[in-house]
């Protein structure tokens, strides 16, 4: 049967499984984008914020800042241990915690800027690594320190290190790994559900879904 599917397709085989079961109450109306989303269809940036609204980026910033502050005590102890092993000047544990906590909170616009720089990196990659985009030396035809015009390297990697989408300390997080992405995914899904009417059948990757 698998060999025949390769040539004949994936149609339902009534000779093997009986009459094709009918699906009742399938949606048969018009499908496509809503009237409201069409009002911003000609503006790519407006479309981005239509489906990924400012509320979403604010929520990601809140969770990222929480992810930065939650393990400060543990990170402070690790830093103190490293200082002792390396023979460096020992900081007081309280001072290390204060230093870690004094980092400026991540702002929603910074997350957007990081995403933008990642897209730019994808379009114009440098084999030496992403840090080379902040190099002050010109590499061939590539301009020097291009990313530095938009964000400092240290700040970029700080945001990347703590970019988070949910609260790790939530009791539900231990039971459901999907919860790590669920809040932001839910916000995105709501935008699509409210602003795009699907037909009876549509495809995500290679899996058919029934409306």
The reported pLDDT for the residue numbered 7 is 66
What does the pLDDT read at residue 117?
95
Tell me what the mean pLDDT of segment 89-99 comes to.
Answer: 86
Confidence band of 183 (pLDDT split at 50, 70, 90): low
Higher-confidence position of 182 and 92: 92
- Can you spell out the DSSP letters for the chain? -HHHHHHH-S---HHHH-SPPPPPS---S--EE-HHHHTTTT-HHHHHHHHS-HHHHHHHHHHHHHHHHTTHHHHHHHHHHHHHHHTPPPPPHHHHHHHHHTSPPPPHHHHHHHHHHHHHHHHS--TT-GGGGG-SS-BTTBPTTSGGGTS-HHHHHHHHHH--SS-TTSGGGGT-GGGGTHHHHHHHHHHHHHHEE--SEEEETTEEEE-
Per-residue pLDDT at 102: 92
The mean pLDDT of 108-116, rounded to a whole number, is 96
Q: 11-52, pLDDT tens digit by residue?
A: 677 787 777 766 667 777 777 777 888 888 899 899 888 888
Residue 169 binned pLDDT confidence (cut-offs 50, 70, 90) = confident
Average pLDDT, the chain: 78
> Has residue 9 got a pLDDT over 80?
no
**pLDDT the model gives residue 197:** 60
């Amino acid at each position: 049967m698998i060999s025949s599917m390769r040539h004949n397709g994936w149609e339902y085989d009534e000779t093997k499984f009986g009459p094709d079961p009918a699906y009742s109450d399938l949606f048969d109306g018009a499908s496509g984008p809503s009237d409201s989303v069409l009002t911003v269809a000609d503006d790519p940036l407006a479309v981005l914020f239509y489906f990924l609204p400012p509320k979403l980026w604010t929520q990601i910033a809140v969770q990222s800042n929480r992810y930065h502050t939650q393990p400060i005590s543990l990170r402070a102890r690790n830093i103190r241990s490293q200082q002792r092993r390396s023979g460096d000047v020992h900081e007081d544990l309280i001072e290390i915690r204060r230093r870690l906590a004094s980092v400026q909170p991540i702002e929603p616009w910074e997350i957007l800027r990081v995403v933008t720089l990642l897209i730019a990196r994808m379009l114009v990659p440098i084999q030496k690594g992403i840090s080379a985009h902040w190099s002050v030396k010109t590499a061939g035809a590539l301009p020097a320190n291009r990313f530095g015009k938009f964000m400092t390297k240290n700040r970029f990697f700080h945001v990347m290190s703590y970019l988070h989408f949910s609260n790790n300390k939530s009791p539900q997080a231990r039971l459901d790994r999907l919860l790590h992405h669920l809040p932001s995914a839910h916000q995105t899904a709501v935008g699509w559900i409210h602003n795009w009417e699907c037909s009876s059948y549509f495809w995500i990757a290679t899996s058919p879904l029934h409306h």
